[in-house]
Structure 1
Amino acid sequence: MGRLLIVNGSPRVPHSHSKQIAELFQTFWGGEVSKYNVTAKKHAGICEQIGTYTDLLFVFPLYVDGLPVTLMHFLKEMENHPVSPKPVVHLIINCGFLEPEQNRVACDMVHLFCKQNGYPFGSSLWIGSGEAILETPFAYFVKRKLKKMATSITTGKPVQQMVTMPLPKRAFLKESTKYWIRYGEKNGVTKQQMETMEIESVGI
């Protein structure tokens, strides 16, 4: 069993969907694991230690069809601190679109980074349908994929997977709207605020 470093690339740590996914993944991982949040901004120290891990797992949300800027800063620091040996890089990307294929470009960006910097690329999991999926019976599908991914990392046999809610798009839009309205109410934010730029200053 190898040593795994999980890097949460979400700017919303500690209240992020990525954190929930990473914690679920850990329930299927039987080896040694360390965690790092990119919001900690102590990149140099952790990047110097990356060579002591066999595997590196990035968990992050899709941002404008690409990577969050917080994660891009971390990758730049990795580039500035080359290590040997290099761990195998794995990805879990989550997006608010129903279609998990929307994560393809972000995956390609990390794959290119690995190619340019000599990191082997391993498994990836693209998750669609947003945060609500973990609060529905469909969470089972995510857990099943996470378990398969943990096994693939352990065995060194990469897998590329996708998962989303098996719903028609119209039904998904209806239910996701209800979810965000409830989420806003829970945090004291109205539907009207969420429809304006005021939401940027609320920080839910």
Structure 2
Amino acid sequence: MKNIVFISGSPKINEKSVSEFLIQMAKRHMETEDAHKTFIDVRQSISKRKTLDDFEALSQADAVIIAFPLYVFCLPGILMRFLEDYYQFFTEKGKVNSPAKVYAIVNCGFPEPEINREAVRVIRSFCRHINADFRFGVLIGGGGMILGAKDAPFMKKTLGKLDNAFSAIAKDLQNKDKAGTDEIYIRMNFPKRLYFFMGNRGWFSAARKNGLKKKDLYRKPYLLHE
């Protein structure tokens, strides 16, 4: 039996997250009788003080699939804390079940999936420190559109690419070949100029809800004045 641990690294509290949606998509490709699946929500794990139980599950994993949004070109702080605490647990435990295969699913608000590369490098480095086998990442550009537009016709092609990527993970889980695998890059099938236009409208709307004006978004309070 393979123990597969899915980790959602989204910091969101009361909102649906793209990370959890992607994990649910990935799980559908791993519905086999010999697989035992565990889901870890990092925010819930920390806030409900159940990290030790989750760390124990991680230490017994044959495969770990981590999904998270890009925050300031890297991992969300809450996920960094979780992984750092697991590393401490790992060093104190001294032994885990076996070198787990690890996969990263990263989505960012930029249309270019390549921007996620640095975050994948962090996960790769983390794997070296815990003697895990990092396999590859699925890097998604424009991921913020997935939840709101998943039923739109133009998303059909993108969702098909995601399904193919998760099928590749499922296939790699069964493969005993240790050779490295290339990252998978997924772009939204959507005009870039229109994407930025709609994104800016979203920021303006959020500013109004928080009592700000459009011009407040362009302020630079970090500049020093003579």
TM surpasses 0.5: yes
Map 1:191-202 onto structure 2 (within 5 A). Answer: 192=212
Q: Which residue of 2 aligns with 1:174?
A: 197
Q: 1:139 aligns with which of 126, 143, 155?
A: 155
Map 1:57-136 onto structure 2 (within 5 A). Answer: 57-82=65-90, 83-134=96-147, 135=149, 136=152
Q: In 2, are the aligned partners of 1:28 and 1:146 still within 8 Å (CA)?
A: no
Of stretches 6-15 and 164-173 in structure 1, the one that deviates more from structure 2 is 164-173
Q: Which runs of 5+ in 2 are unaligned?
A: 91-95, 176-180, 218-226
Q: Which residue of 2 aligns with 1:154?
A: 170
Q: Which residue of 1 aligns with 2:187?
A: 164
Report percent identity of matched pairs.
Answer: 26
Instruction: Give the paired residue count.
Output: 194
Give the drift of 1:98.
0.8
Give the drift of 1:180.
5.8
Of stretches 1-10 and 100-109 in structure 1, the one that deviates more from structure 2 is 1-10
Give the drift of 1:161.
0.8
Query: How far apart, in 2, do the equivalents of 1:53 and 1:14 lie?
Result: 28
TM-score (norm 1): 0.81
Query: How far apart, in 2, do the equivalents of 1:25 and 1:14 lie?
Result: 22
Query: How far apart, in 2, do the equivalents of 1:100 and 1:7 lie?
Result: 20
Q: In 2, are the aligned partners of 1:62 and 1:103 still within 8 Å (CA)?
A: yes
Q: In 2, are the aligned partners of 1:127 and 1:163 still within 8 Å (CA)?
A: yes
Give the drift of 1:115.
1.5
Q: In 1, are the aligned partners of 2:162 and 2:186 still within 8 Å (CA)?
A: no
Q: Which amino acid counterpart does residue 36 of structure 1 have in structure 2?
A: I
CA RMSD of aligned residues (A): 2.7
After superposition, the C-alpha distances for 1:7-53 in whole angstroms (9 at most, x for unaligned) are 11111145222122222222333133211111121222211221322
Q: Which runs of 5+ in 1 are unaligned?
A: 198-204
Q: Which residue of 2 aligns with 1:26?
A: 27
For the residue of structure 1 that corresponds to 2:30, the secondary structure is coil
Give the drift of 1:168.
3.9
Query: How far apart, in 1, do the equivalents of 2:167 and 2:143 lie?
Result: 24
Q: Per the alignment, do residues 169 and 94 of structure 1 end up closer, same or farther by CA in structure 2, a change over 3 Å counting?
A: same
